[in-house]
Chain A
Amino acid sequence: MAPAMSVSSLGYEVTSPNYKETELTLRLPGESRTQKSGTKRGFSERVETELNSSVGDSRGMIFEDDQLANEVISAAAKSPKSKAEVVGWPPVKSTRKLNKACKYVKVAVDGAPYLRKVDLEMYNSYQQLLTALQEMFSCFTICNYLNERKLMDPVNGSEYVPTYEDKDGDWMLVGDVPWEMFVESSKRLRLMKSSEAIGLGSSEDTFKNAQAKVVEEAFNYSAQ
């Protein structure tokens, strides 16, 4: 094992970051590091961590007893998504989680044979929601034209306007109210074909402009 490390009297030494050497692998005692027999369980993949930022740069840790595996955690970006991928961590009963953050609403798309469900609590903004919807109904791309929040199906060129049903049973345009208020009050979503949404304003352009303005304001408001 190469390295530029010496063991001090305390047995601990800071080394310069050497990611490959210090990469965490799991193996039975006695196996050498060179043997990559698929023992790596995806542990570091599964839980990508970074040393607490207050520590500063990443450090390698060597343990005095060289019979202990020289395992170190390499710094990697910590993203909420990687945490979410670890099943059952943190260990909290599902009855607790449901109570807190779980707002599943149905999503209907005009013309689609079945509906989907999304958990609005998973997102922090309209943009994230639309991105997720785009992924879910993968035929769409987000059409950010004129700052509007619309989804477009590039195949047939029709545009979809995201709308939602609020607590009073009214169908509203997505984007008018601050994000948190929207999450609170929406019961279900519908991606409505633009052609149907028109008819609310006097002319298509006026309507679009009005929409764009409203959505932009909402975006600014919720970004505060």
Chain B
Amino acid sequence: MNYFPEEVLEHVFDFLTSHRDRNAVSVVCKSWYTIERFSRERVFIGNCYAISPERLIERFPRIRSLTLKGMPHFADFNLVPHDWGGLVYPWIEAMAKSGVNLEELRLKRMVVSDEGLELLSRSFANFKSLVLVSCEGFTTDGLAAIASNCRFLRELDLQENEVEDHRGQWLSCFPDSCTSLISLNFACLKGEVNLAALERLVARCRNLRSLRLNHAVPLDSLQKILAQAPQLVDLGTGAFVGDQNSESYHKLQSSIQKCTSIRSLSGFLEVAPCCLDSIYAICLNLTSLNLSYAPGIHGSDLIKLIRHCRKLQRLWVLDCIGDKGLEVVASTCKELQELRVFPSDPLGVGHAAVTEEGLVAISFGCPKLHSLLYFCQQMTNAALITVAKNCPNFIRFRLCTLNPVIPDPVTSQPLDEGFGAIVQSCKGLRRLSLSGLLTDQVFLYIGMYAEQLEMLSVAFAGGTDKGMIYVLNGCKKLKKLEIRDSPYGNGGLLKDVGKYETMRSLWMSSCEVTLGGCKALAKKMPRLNVEIIDESGQIGVNPDDDRQKVEKMYLYRTLVGPRSDAPEFVWTL
């Protein structure tokens, strides 16, 4: 391998874009490690506390794109207290100080501050792309800094963030000289934007491909925007409410018809169903449709819309679509690869939801389905077995019964056999979320068959420590395990402590693990951070009572020891 000069190897490595390939290459030998580290431009860090910014920069000085993930997944469901951590500021600061030529920053579940955004906008002359997913801690002032200072900004993509709206004019801060935008998504912002500034911005960014508006952008602004940007590929409407008989509605229809490149559609945050006529023209070419924020589209309007979308590959809807609506999807969308059905009534106060019937229909109609997120009223083993047979290509299978411990309503059995069929049939399954009544049996199946499984989510399972042990023993590629409200204790936790160094993280909340068990684990495994989240302060009061249950535990492998920014309610053992 030393026959090739470095430049040649570097050139070869250029073709390796996936970070897994690059990681693999970097451990072949020392010289490959060195060549690879100087040529790596894109770095992915799945847990921001696994490594420090300084070590990142030291190893990859030529980094241009950084992806960071912060809080554990269950933070999405309010299980992680505010102020737990996941701050991005130290990363931005370290990179700014080292003169890194950062061009892209992608963050998920991190705390971002306006100061951080300001520093980001001023420190990296070539900064091009900011993608924030499920982040919080910043306001529209921070966005104003990005808009003002990032002269070559191509992408500003805000997905499902909690942003405090200061009703400023952040969008007006894009200077007239800014013409480089390719992607702009501010759908999650709650406040008003300057519509005239928006229209002018769109008009001068001739390369704009993706535009997702927030609810404050009305229909007539949309019309003007589309008239200026017929080249759009991805559109998220704001409010879609107007008078069908008006002049501006007719203009809208003709503007939409000219947008022949649109392949992805979302939004309809507020909608008057009578206005939907205007979009049928673009439905035929749609490959992606997200109506999960559009409770205003339901019943026959929804079905009519779906019937136009024969080429859909991705569909996100609310469960008001019903089983009948899913049958329509099954017969219309033969190319469907990803389906997400969200609950329109999370508290389940007696609304129609979907059941196993809808899913079975989909499995018959859409054999290419590989990703599923399905919130349903109930599920049967028979249905899951049928789905497993019809769709052996699942990569992601996430099922969520609204009642977390509901058994098979037909047989009263747990759903072990159904999920067992899924893991046995879908040999490429990488992500699985379970719900419904479950026993150790399902975990035996998972341990036996789910060879490619990387992420498993368990909630309200039954059984014993054996269940957890089956999974830890059997799933060789497991990276993330998150468990809540299940009967696993120290027996499961401590059975194979070495396993956790092969994984990114383990979350256990409302289980049976005790303080003593966690301490024992931390002692054996110095390269893990075993964090206890002690919201009630109980553990702080009796830190020596090893028998007390630990309400929330989060452990992860790390090269840099306990984190220095842990708040007072987090104990690293």
Contact = CB atoms under 8 A, between A and B. Distances in A.
B162 A95 contact: yes
B464 A69 contact: yes
A97 B344 CA distance: 9
Contact of A88 (B78, B134, B342, B466): B78
Nearest to A94: B78
B463 interface: yes
Contact of B491 (A29, A55, A87, A124): A29
Residue among A83, A88, A91 with the most chain B CB within 10 A?
A: A91
Interface stretch (B32-40, B112-120, B404-412): B404-412
Given A78-B403, A80-B348, A51 B464 contact: no
A41 B78 contact: no
A1 interface: no
Contacts of A95: 134, 160-162, 188
A134 interface: no
A26 interface: yes
Contact of A100 (B134, B295, B439): B295
A68 B463 contact: yes
A148 B464 CA distance: 56
Given A47-B404, A87-B77, A87-B79, A80 B346 contact: no
Interface string B453-487: 00000011011111000000000000000001101
A43 B485 contact: yes
B409 A96 contact: no
A91 B400 contact: yes
A92 B78 contact: no
Contacts of A78: 403
Given A63-B439, A99-B269, A73 B347 contact: no
Interface string B403-443: 11111011011100000000000000000000001011100
B76 interface: yes
B76 A68 contact: no
B371 interface: no
A73 B409 contact: no
Interface in A26-78: 26-29, 39, 41, 43, 46-47, 49, 51-52, 54-55, 59, 61, 63, 67-69, 71, 73, 78
Contacts of A92: 77, 342-343, 346, 375
A90 interface: yes
B392 interface: no
Given A28-B465, A69-B464, A91 B459 contact: yes
A88 B293 contact: no
Contacts of B103: none
A26 B512 contact: yes
A33 to B, nearest CB: 14
B12 interface: no
A90 B293 contact: no
A49 B405 contact: yes
A20 interface: no
A127 to B, nearest CB: 16
A109 to B, nearest CB: 27
Nearest to A124: B349
A88 B74 contact: yes
A63 B490 CA distance: 24
Given A41-B510, A46-B485, A71-B462, A91 B76 contact: yes
A88 B459 CA distance: 11
Nearest to A73: B405
A84 interface: yes
B512 to A, nearest CB: 6
B465 A90 contact: no
B94 to A, nearest CB: 30
A55 B512 contact: no
B463 A69 contact: yes
A27 B406 CA distance: 21
Contacts of B412: 51, 55, 59, 61
Nearest to A93: B76
A61 B403 CA distance: 18
Interface string B76-94: 1111000000000000000
A176 B463 CA distance: 54
A111 B500 CA distance: 59
B367 interface: no
Contact of B342 (A29, A87, A96): A96
Given A51-B412, A86-B404, 11 more contacts: A29-B466, A41-B512, A47-B485, A49-B406, A67-B466, A68-B463, A73-B405, A88-B78, A89-B459, A91-B400, A96-B342
Chain A to chain B: the 10 pairs with minimum beta-carbon distance, closest first: A88-B77, A52-B409, A26-B487, A95-B160, A80-B349, A91-B77, A29-B464, A93-B76, A28-B489, A88-B79
Interface of B: 74, 76-79, 134, 160-162, 188, 269, 292-293, 295, 342-350, 375, 378, 400, 402-407, 409-410, 412-414, 437, 439-441, 459-460, 462-466, 484-485, 487, 489-491, 510, 512, 549
16 contacts: A29-B464, A29-B466, A41-B510, A43-B460, A49-B403, A52-B378, A68-B463, A68-B466, A71-B463, A88-B77, A90-B400, A91-B76, A91-B400, A96-B160, A100-B346, A124-B349
